[in-house]
Amino acid sequence: MSGTFIGMPSFPEAARDAVRDTTLRGNLRHATHTIRAKRAGAVAELDDWAQLREAGKQIKDRTLRHLDTHLEQVERAVTAAGGTVHWAADADEANRIVTDLVKATGETEVVKVKSMATQEIGLNAALEEAGIRAYETDLAELIVQLGDDLPSHILVPAIHRNRGEIRDIFRDNMADWGRPAPDGLTDRPADLAEAARLHLREKFLRAKVGISGANFMVAETGTLVVVESEGNGRMCLTLPETLISVVGIEKVVPTWRDLEVFLQLLPRSSTAERMNPYTTMWTGTTDGDGPRAFHLVLLDNGRTDTLADEVGRQALRCIRCSACLNVCPVYERAGGHAYGSAYPGPIGAILTPQLRGTATELDASLPYASSLCGACYEVCPVAIDIPEVLVHLREKVADQGGRGHRLERAAMRAATWLLDHPAALTAGERLASRTRKLHPRRLPGPGVREWTNSRDLPELPAEPFRDWWKKNHE
Amino acid sequence: MRVALFATCVNDALYPSTAIATVKVLERLGVEVDFPAAQTCCGQPQFNTGYRRATEPLVHRMARAFEGYDHVVTPSGSCVAMVRDNYPRIGARAAAEGRGQGLADAAASLVPRVRELTEFLVDVLGVTDVGAYFPHTVTYHPSCHGLRMLGLGDRPRRLLQAVKGLQLIELPGAEECCGFGGTFAVKNADVSAAMGDDKIRNALSTDADVLCGADNSCLMHIGGMLRRRDAPQRALHLAEILASTEEEPLR
């Protein structure tokens, strides 16, 4: 991947372009509505879904409370099973560790399993700088990589592309990365999948180093778990000689019994399947079976800071299912790129400002990228109250002041004063009502202009309700 | 039975007809209605925009204004959700910040007594037929806070279905947000308008005369978009439909 999220404009600005892109809007509407309905069906099949959801939430909360203990258990177990554990405080350190590990093998190319953690730290770009080519092997990640594009969805990174666009990307760019697309490639899904399969097969067979993330780490045995649909993960996790896994520290679950809960919650929430097609689990290394060297890079990169926030920490429960993206009306219109990070949609709007902070205009705009409709909370399989965290983060952004917020704070305080003085409020209401004939349809000025660009202002009544009440009831 | 009407700031200043309709419906059903004049606003705009501390005086004001009433009834789901979901949070945060139990106590005293209009009619009074008459086609948009935070379920629809002469038409994509979202409507005006576009396209596809809702803040947005297009449909609060009778029909 050569694209970058760095230096992107604020959410409203980026979203403005996306909203006007009718192809993008169409692609997203079709895709999200399809998967939304499927998920609802898959979840409705289980009569104990509410209990599963509560269990998932509680297991994550309990684990996060004693995260240090569980992580040390992971380290001991992985080491005992022949793996090596590395601790990375931030993205730079993680990238350096992985780059050095690849260099030590003498290889200049790696195959990758789709991984959010490596997207988050920009690993591919770091490897490229060190002269190492990383091949994405997940179909959608491949589309993104070949298109010199950025992912726009957690589960289906190329959701913003339709099959005609994918055909063109394959036809034009596959040859630059390896085996070219077959002549006369059509946009039939089966043909596109076959082209990807042929292109990727030679990479699986050649690669000596694989890089992955993990969906879960089971502390009691030091076992890593990757769930996937295409089988590319299985290839990358078993064929190479060296396997490097970059995993966020919140991915740990204490026991296999805990894992059982998530293996039910995740597939139904993400792909709307009862069970995902491939579940790969490995514990350190095994002689004569799979990679001979295994490195686990445990990634903090803002997670410890997030954990310190009593309201915001619930974001660390996230199992990256992307159900919240698929139901989000804002995501559907703005697309994933507007969120400016590997984590788009509602979860990104609460995760990114916590992992990266709110120093940039983009990151400070993310908590406002929601109408607080609550659809995300409703479908979240680990009950993250995303609207609650969004409002909490808005408070943090407002507190730090900066562009627009000083004026806004003054306006909010003035409003509260007025609302705390009913006599003054009534006088204001009466004045507005009496001058109503003079109010134009469109108005300038911050706030009002944005309103009247697309909507009429309400017609003011002849008198406020409190005056009617006084006349009729007192 | 005596109840306090919480008109809400939006209805007081912009949609008095909704508050008047609420009074009429309740009085028709034999309920004695008071309007405590000390009430103003629940503080939702401040709170949801990130100004929690600016909300606190309004929490106190709300609790004081409605002291002594068994039921506080309001024709706005999102204001009830603000009180029910966020007042306890505001109280707990203030206590955690070492500023005493005052806000938490104020919240605890008010929260259990506040009812959204359809909750009050269906759950407390036990009625769905309120004796209304409205000979028009109507489609209903369930606003997000009523739908998801309060779980109003089919209460509004049951009330509408019992209205004489009214033909209820299902709204496609009913559960999708209209795009209002308070200050979201101006902070993310383009996305908000795109969501509103889809909402009114669905609403107009029903050919209904009226797009009904139970939250005037959402209807201010949707209705504003309908009027901007001179669309042959008007946004109307549920209370105004319920207030309409054969003797005194809504014009």
Are residue A24 and residue A146 in the same domain, yes or no?
yes
| Beta carbons of B214 and B146 less than 8 angstroms apart | yes
Residue range B2-124 forms a domain whose CATH class is: alpha beta
In sequence order, which residues have a C-beta less than 8 Å from that of residue B10 and are 6 or more positions away?
Answer: B76, B216, B217, B220
Mean pLDDT of A367-386: 98
Asked if the structure places residue A437 within a domain, the reply is yes
The pLDDT value recorded for residue A373 is 97
Q: Examine the domain organization and report whether A125 and A263 are in the same domain.
A: yes
Q: How far apart are CA A251 and CA A228, in angstroms?
A: 16
With a cut of 50, say whether residue A2 has pLDDT above it: no
Contact residues, B window 37-66, toward A, CB-based 8 Å cutoff? 37-41, 43, 45-52, 54-55, 57-58, 61
- CB within 8 Å: A391 and B50: yes
> Are A253 and A382 in a shared domain?
no
- A219 and A285 fall within a common domain: yes
Test the B interface: residue of A385, A406, A413, A416 with most B CBs within 10 Å: A416
Residue A429 CB contacts under 8 Å (≥ 6 apart), including other chains: A464, A466, B12, B13
Nearest to B48 among A19, A391, A465 (CB): A391
Dihedral in degrees, nearest 10, Cα atoms A42, A43, A48, A51: 140
A339 belongs to a structural domain: yes
Helices (H), A207-243: 232-238
- CATH code (residue A108): 3.40.50.10420
Quick: pLDDT tens for B175-210. Answer: 999 999 999 999 999 999 999 999 999 999 999 999
Each residue's pLDDT tens digit, A294-315:
999 999 999 999 999 999 999 9
Please tell me whether residues A192 and A299 are part of one structural domain. yes
The interface pTM score, or ipTM, of the predicted complex is 0.96
Q: How far is A141 from chain B (nearest CA, A)?
A: 27
Of B9, B179, B224, the CB nearest to A419: B9
8 Å CB contact between A39 and A379 = yes
Instruction: Note whether residue A404 is domain-resident.
Output: no
Nearest-CB residue to A466 (from B37, B49, B149): B37
Please give the residue that has the higher pLDDT: either A58 or A444.
A58
Q: Which of residues 23-52 of A touch B (CB under 8 A)?
A: 25
Q: What ranges make up the beta strands (E) of chain B?
A: 2-5, 32-34, 72-74, 114-116, 137-140, 167-169, 210-213, 234-237
Same domain, A113 and A150: yes
Are A265 and A367 within one domain? Answer: no
A373: nearest Cα among B75, B59, B139, B185: B185
pLDDT score of A418: 87
Q: Which residues of A touch B39 (CB under 8 A)?
A: 422
B177 at the A interface (CB within 8 A)? yes
Are A191 and A96 in a shared domain?
A: yes
Give the mean model confidence (pLDDT) for residues A359-368: 95
Residue reference for tokens 């059903």: B29
For residue A111, pLDDT beyond 90:
yes
Instruction: Give the pLDDT score at A52.
Output: 98
A431 vs B8, higher pLDDT: B8
Same-domain pairing of A73 and A185: yes
Are residue A178 and residue A102 in the same domain, yes or no? yes
Confidence of residue A227 (pLDDT cuts 50, 70, 90): very high
Looking at the fold, whether A325 and A434 belong to one and the same domain comes out as: no
How far is Cα A232 from Cα A197, in angstroms, rounded to an integer? Answer: 9
Residue ranges of domains in chain B: 2-124, 137-243
Assigned domain for A166 exists: yes
Residues 100-139 (B) with a CB less than 8 A from some CB of A: none
Mean pLDDT of chain A: 94
User: Can you say whether the dihedral through the CA atoms of A53, A57, A62, A67 is positive or negative?
Assistant: positive
Instruction: Please indicate whether, in this complex, the C-beta atoms of B148 and A369 are within 8 angstroms of each other.
Output: no
Whether A464 sits inside 8 A of B13 (CB atoms) is yes
Condensed to tens digits (0 to 9), the pLDDT of residues B125-152 reads 999 999 999 999 999 999 999 999 999 9
In a domain? residue A314: no
Q: Name the pLDDT band for A4 (thresholds 50, 70, 90).
A: low
* A167 neighbors A195 (Cβ within 8 angstroms): no
| Nearest residue in chain A measured CA to CA from B179 | A371
Give chain B's length.
Answer: 251
Model pLDDT for residues A250-293, shown as the tens digit of each residue: 999 999 999 999 999 999 999 999 999 999 999 999 999 999 99
Is A101's pLDDT higher than 70? yes
Please, are residues A133 and A108 in contact by the beta-carbon 8 Å criterion? yes
**How many domains, chain A?**
3
> Cβ of A451 and B186 within 8 Å?
yes
Query: What gap in Å lies between CA A409 and CA B83, rounded to an integer?
Result: 22
- Give tens-digit pLDDT for A25-53: 998 999 999 999 999 999 999 999 999 99
* Residue with the larger pLDDT of the pair A251 and A439: A251
Answer whether residue A100 is part of any domain: yes
Which residues of B fall within a CB distance of 8 Å from A336?
none
Domain housing A341: 320-399
Outline where B29-148 has alpha helix (H): 44-49, 52-65, 77-81, 87-96, 102-110, 117-119, 144
- Grouping H, G, I as helix, E, B as strand and the rest as coil, residue A117 is helix
Please identify among residues 389-428 of chain A the ones whose CB lies closer than 8 Å to any CB of chain B. Answer: 391, 393-399, 408-409, 412-413, 415-416, 419-420, 422, 425
Question: Can you give the CATH number for the domain in which A350 is found?
Answer: 1.10.1060.10
* Tens-place pLDDT, residues A135-167: 999 999 999 999 999 999 999 999 999 999 999
